[in-house]
Amino acid sequence: MEPLIELRGVNKHYGTLHVLRDINLTVGRGEVVVVIGPSGSGKSTLCRIINRLETVESGTITLAGRNLPAEGKELARLRAEVGMVFQAFNLFGHKTVLANVMLAPLKVRGQKKDKAQARALDLLERVGLADQAAKYPAQLSGGQQQRVAIARALAMDPEALLFDEPTSALDPEMISEVLEVMRQLAQEGMTMVVVTHEMGFARSAANRVVFMAEGQIVEDRTPEEFFTAPESDRAKDFLSKILKH
Amino acid sequence: MNVLTQNFQLYGDGFLGTLRLTVYSSLLALALGVVMAGFRVAPVGALRGVGTAWVAVLRNTPLTLLFFAMLLGLPRFGVALPFELFAVLALGCYTSSFICEAVRSGINTVPLGQGEAARSLGMTFGQTLGTVVLPQAFRTVIAPVGSTLIALCKNSAIAGSFSVTELLSTYKTLNENGYSVLWSFVWIALGYLILTLAISALFHFMERRWGAAR
């Protein structure tokens, strides 16, 4: 499989906390990698360094063989290739749903307005929200906002999508509508890195499960192997806690 | 009443002088204030330094001192401008530091995540600031910016001491001509009231129109 995202020897501290320790991770094109682990294990940070919302102290990050630049226009261009979906949705509050999805194609890609609008409506249709296009984010439920956020990321035709706990802020009944959209994307061959606590999604949609603890990647295996026969004590302990209820 | 009717020309010139000072200085203060607020949140350290220094120097200097510095200092370096322009520069720069801080507080009300979302979509710092952050920041700073511009209008009275035609300085002439001090000031105060109430009305309208929806 052709590697799309590669992290080599990545280290990061928050003050004295060593939040990422010598991270090596390769995500192939079309692969779905689910990152799980206890809170504070560095999984969100791992997600955020891939498009440099957080800087790293050492190590290299490459996207499709190109080094991630430090700052400026070059970085912006590479960021446009990697979409990101956040726990808090982060829709632009002063713009309608449709305008949220169209904004980056207009500003970053310089697309024509009617083309961007047609594509945005298409994507909203795909996440089941075409009828909400004229509303403002505050008028939508959490699950709807998150689906708009996914459509917004897709509008840039990214090569990969990063999901940073996309369902952690949602009511239980809204989680499934978001996971369903994500499952579809996975089936269509989108490269995805998903930080989540949804073990059901990890089992059914992931090609690989990466288990992190204390800033390190402890296990990196298929979901089948990981969930039925975890190797490390740390993973066994984690699974016993979350699978009990 | 006859103070006003017999000196209408004088009052009118003073009123228009204050109006000019207020309008031009406000425009300068708004432009500089927004740019400096942008500097203060910029990813480049040097720009942040410029923004911080700008605010520290101008916000903490007495306005009269700034007038002296501009009107007496700049000509020594060969910068000779009309007094009114000096006054606009002094008032505009001074007020821009307050506008900057108001806008910066507005920027801080926009959730950080929206900026991250914009950047993750490939938008540059300028695009993020201009299309996502500032439009939302402006909604929350309409009221404090209005207060700052009202203060600017009244501060413009200092320009009168530096040979600029403005409303307050009309009292000198009236006093020399033997008019009642009390009535001279009543009409001057009314002139300021007209301007400041107009500014309040304008900002009240803007707040109704664009203010943050709650």
Given an 8 Å threshold on Cβ–Cβ distance, is A108 in contact with B213?
no
Q: Which residues of A touch B135 (CB under 8 A)?
A: 94
Across the interface, which of B43, B131, B136 has its CB nearest the CB of A103? B131
Given an 8 Å threshold on Cβ–Cβ distance, is A83 in contact with B136?
no
> pTM value?
0.85
Residue B204 has pLDDT above 60, yes or no: yes
Q: What is the dihedral of CA B201, B206, B207, B212, to 10 degrees?
A: -170
Task: Name A52's Cβ contacts closer than 8 Å, sequence gap at least 6.
Answer: A61, A68, A70, A75, A79
Q: Supply the pLDDT for residue A173.
A: 86
Establish if A156 touches chain B: CB-CB under 8 angstroms. Answer: yes
Q: Supply the pLDDT for residue A129.
A: 94
Establish if A194 touches chain B: CB-CB under 8 angstroms. Answer: no
Interface test with A, best of B120, B133, B209 (most A CBs within 10 A): B120
Q: Supply the pLDDT for residue A69.
A: 78
Interface test with A, best of B107, B114, B119, B121 (most A CBs within 10 A): B121
Given an 8 Å threshold on Cβ–Cβ distance, is A108 in contact with B127?
yes
Residue B174 has pLDDT above 70, yes or no: yes
Establish if A53 touches chain B: CB-CB under 8 angstroms. Answer: yes
Tell me which amino acid residue A33 is: V
Q: Please report, for residues A51, A85, A88, A138, A158, the alpha-carbon distance to residue A20 in angstroms, rounded to integers and kept in the order given.
A: 15, 21, 23, 35, 26
Query: Average pLDDT, whole number, for chain B?
Result: 91
B contact set with A (CB within 8 A): 43, 110-111, 113-114, 116-124, 127, 131-132, 135-136, 139, 213
Q: Supply the pLDDT for residue B212.
A: 62
Annotate A167-219 with DSSP letters as a single string: TTTS-HHHHHHHHHHHHHHHHTT-EEEEE-S-HHHHHHH-SEEEEEETTEEEE
What parts of chain A have a pLDDT lower than 70? Answer: 244-245
Q: What is the mean pLDDT of residues B99-107?
A: 96
Q: How far is B28 from chain A (nearest CA, A)?
A: 27
Q: Model confidence over B50-75: pLDDT tens digits?
A: 999 999 999 999 999 999 988 888 88
Q: Which residues of A touch B119 (CB under 8 A)?
A: 53, 76, 79
Residue of A nearest to B212 (CA): A94
Count other C-beta atoms under 10 Å from residue A19's C-beta.
19
Establish if A76 touches chain B: CB-CB under 8 angstroms. Answer: yes
Q: Residue A46: what are its φ and ψ, rounded to 5°?
A: -55, -45
Q: Supply the pLDDT for residue B109.
A: 93
Q: Supply the pLDDT for residue A75.
A: 85
Confidence of residue B115 (pLDDT cuts 50, 70, 90): very high
Domain B2-210 sits in which CATH superfamily? MetI-like (1.10.3720.10)
Across the interface, which of B43, B114, B120 has its CB nearest the CB of A53? B120
Interface test with B, best of A55, A73, A79 (most B CBs within 10 A): A79
Given an 8 Å threshold on Cβ–Cβ distance, is A88 in contact with B121?
no
Q: Supply the pLDDT for residue B31.
A: 97
Q: Model confidence over B77-98: pLDDT tens digits?
A: 888 888 889 999 999 999 999 9
Q: Model confidence over B146-161: pLDDT tens digits?
A: 999 999 999 999 998 8
Q: Supply the pLDDT for residue B43.
A: 86
Report strand pairing: A32-36 vs A191-195.
parallel
Annotate A50-93 with DSSP letters as a single string: HTTSS--SEEEEEETTEEPPSSHHHHHHHHTTEEEE-TT----T
Domain boundaries along the sequence of chain B: 2-210
Given an 8 Å threshold on Cβ–Cβ distance, is A93 in contact with B114?
yes
Q: Supply the pLDDT for residue B198.
A: 96
Residue B214 has pLDDT above 60, yes or no: no
